[in-house]
Structure 1
């Protein structure tokens, strides 16, 4: 299916947001997820399905100094 991730069109076989986070190697890191302009808590990622044309924003914190 085709989704929009951070404004870019991508193809994915992920069925839910947790699978997408795992595919992007973000599991265990600090991040926030928004699906179709609604913030999704980390505890709900596995229960939140991804559908064709969904708009998903993932913002992750990057340390530095």
Structure 2
């Protein structure tokens, strides 16, 4: 059995054991329960376009910064 992918997500180390051997950014976002249209993501200092998430693999050592937008405000 191989080692899990370990990334830093918003400053915290995360072991991605539940996502399999070669997880993608899209799989990470889904596992966190976020809607893709309400998330912005940076990987290793670079913005990753939403259209590239399904093909962008995560690797041990990646630094992921994720911002989740929430609607609301005064009516």
TM (normalized to structure 1)?
0.90
The structure in which a higher percent of residues are strand is: 1
What is the aligned length?
Answer: 65
SS in 2 for 1:49: coil
TM (normalized to structure 2)?
0.79
RCO higher in 1 or 2 (8 Å CA, sep ≥ 6)? 1
Q: Which runs of 5+ in 1 are unaligned?
A: none
The structure in which a higher percent of residues are helix is: 2
Structure 1: 4+ residue segments shifted above 6 A: none
Q: Which runs of 5+ in 2 are unaligned?
A: none
